[in-house]
Amino acid sequence: MSRMHLLPIPRQIDFGTGTVHWGPEPTAIIPIEWQSVVENAGWNFRKIENSQDPQIVIKKIEGLGDEGYSIKVDDVTEISASTAAGLNYALTTLRQYGTEQMQRVEIVDSPKYSWRGCHLDVSRHFFGVDTVCRFIDLLAEHRLNRLHLHLNDDQGWRIEIPRWPLLTEIGAWRDSSPIGHEDDGVDDGQPHGGFYTLDDIRVIREHAEKRFIQIVPEIDLPGHAQAALAAYPHLGNTDLSLRPWVRWGISDHVLNVSDEALKFAEDVVTYVASLFPGSPIHIGGDECPTVEWEESPAAREVMRSHGFTSVQQLQGLYTRRLTKVLQAKGHEVVAWDEVLDAEVPSGTIIAAWRSSEKGVEAANRGLDVIMAPMDYLYLDWLSSDAPGEPVAQASLPVFTPWEKVYGFSVIPEGLTPDKAKHVRGAQVQLWTEYMATQDHLDYMAFPRICAFSEVVWGSSTTAPEFRPRLEEHLALHQRAGVKFRRLDPEIG
């Protein structure tokens, strides 16, 4: 094999002369604490003792970083890493390189960015455990290391909370969904729903851990709350009887700003956090309509008691309370960039989605940033301007081909080097209003995630150089049953 199959391409690769051949069960010396890493990666090495002659030696050495590794394919192939994650990435790269007649090569590799993520909305359309675990496998093949799960929204609540059982008894099931584009106003009249039990969460978390992917759960409050309010209407601002929303877009129904509602949000978010020890917790904070607060005497009284001059400041009550309690429990806190419109607690990580400029603003305010600008990294947008594309969130002339994703710069223009250190990395977003099946999810995700993975690894080159490797890579996806969007013919 050549570098054609390597994606993301390692940051340093030097080919030698001659080839090396392994049999079906190559002999290997493996540190005992890393035996499970090799097994989970699917390698069929025959472990031998140090006194024997191996074909492969796996070494634990210092200095290669948390996720770095080196590979030297030679008569005796050496695979070195400082951590289990680094070894896992080495084995992932080696699998792409091949095991039959391998050209001699030396690879020294590590990611440029520590946050290499993908967001998956399981609220608008629910995806079961098998689909999520399969998706984790696909992310791991691309050396991504975060899966951000969007677990609630107006259209459905997707995680079991024992103290609040109606969230899933009522909030997990909506009566209908739009067909075609939301603007068409046509509904299917079919109930849709589902949620993850505590056992489901354990399976997903443990599977992700084996693939060295950290699950980042999101509970998005106080907006995007209609499903929660259908379950517990006293936490809202209206006497209306609500059901989980059957439209896309954003409902005006939000949590009220009473201490009871704040305590509900705290209780739910801290419980979800307890299911993901050590993970950052995303508290949402985006797109919170203020219509109901503006009309609420109770909300105006809360504004008066806090000395607020703008109704938008009420959202900060949630941001500060949730951030304080989560940080006290050892979790980092992530929020969408709308929280910049109010006071932001120290240590909050900003997911900059409205634009790269929001990432610049956050970094200039001393806050760490995950770059997620919609004009480059929202994969619910059309893949091309061709007439045959399936319905997507944004309409023409807006579209995001893989070439545009590949041209994304993680560090935005206008950010000085001392502020650029606040950029942890980037993530792509898959909002699923228009993705109801696994095949459609595949189509929207790939090959754009393939392009993104090389950008966020830090080894991207040019689209013409990348395309031949992408073609080889997609051939592997095809054999694995991934229903990716096929590449358009090259022009000229």
Instruction: Please report, in tens digits, the pLDDT of each residue of the chain (492 residues total).
Output: 445 679 999 999 999 999 999 888 899 999 999 999 999 999 989 989 876 789 999 999 999 999 999 999 999 999 999 999 999 999 999 999 877 789 999 999 999 999 999 999 999 999 999 999 999 999 999 999 999 999 999 999 999 999 999 999 999 999 999 998 998 999 999 999 999 999 999 999 999 999 999 999 999 999 999 999 999 999 999 999 999 999 999 999 999 999 999 999 999 999 999 999 999 999 998 889 999 999 999 999 999 999 999 999 999 999 999 999 999 999 999 999 999 988 899 999 999 999 999 999 999 999 999 999 999 999 999 999 999 999 999 889 999 999 999 999 999 998 999 999 999 999 999 999 999 999 999 999 999 999 999 999 999 999 999 999 999 999 999 999 999 999 999 876
Both tokens of 451, joined, read: 């392009």
Query: Tokens 């675990």 identify what position?
Result: 133
Is residue 465 exposed (0-12), middle (13-18) or buried (19+ Cβ within 10 Å)?
A: exposed
Class assignment of domain 3-109? alpha beta
Q: What is the per-residue DSSP string for 264-331?
A: HHHHHHHHHHHTSTT--EE----S---HHHHT-HHHHHHHHHHT-SSGGGGHHHHHHHHHHHHHHTT-
- All CATH 3.20.20.80 domain ranges in the chain, comma separated: 115-479
> CB 225: neighbour CB atoms within 10 A?
28
Helix (H, G, I), strand (E, B) or coil at 282: strand
Both tokens of 25, joined, read: 């069960």
- All CATH 3.30.379.10 domain ranges in the chain, comma separated: 3-109
User: Which residue, among 360, 354, 467, 468, has the nearest Cα to 410 in the 3D structure?
Assistant: 360
Predicted confidence at residue 1, as pLDDT, reads 41
CB 281 within 8 A of CB 266: no
pTM (predicted TM-score): 0.96
What residues form DSSP beta bridges with 473? Answer: none
Helix (H) or strand (E) holding 319: helix 315-328
Is residue 184 exposed (0-12), middle (13-18) or buried (19+ Cβ within 10 Å)?
A: exposed
The domain defined by 115-479 carries CATH number 3.40.50.150: no
Helix (H) or strand (E) holding 403: helix 402-406
Is residue 217 exposed (0-12), middle (13-18) or buried (19+ Cβ within 10 Å)?
A: buried
What phi and psi, each to the nearest 5 degrees, are found at residue 75? Answer: -55, -40
User: Which residue, among 383, 379, 484, 394, has the nearest Cα to 439 in the 3D structure?
Assistant: 484
Q: How far apart are CA 64 and CA 278, in angstroms?
A: 23
C-alpha distances (whole Å) from 478 to each of 42, 92, 152, 474 are 19, 18, 32, 6
C-alpha distances (whole Å) from 39 to each of 76, 139, 196, 389 are 20, 18, 28, 40
Q: How far apart are CA 66 and CA 116, in angstroms?
A: 14
CB 72 within 8 A of CB 61: no
C-alpha distances (whole Å) from 492 to each of 31, 436, 471 are 52, 36, 17
DSSP 235: G
CB 269 within 8 A of CB 203: no
Estimate to the nearest angstrom the gap between the alpha carbon of 239 and the chain centroid: 37
CB 296 within 8 A of CB 237: yes
CB 217 within 8 A of CB 269: no
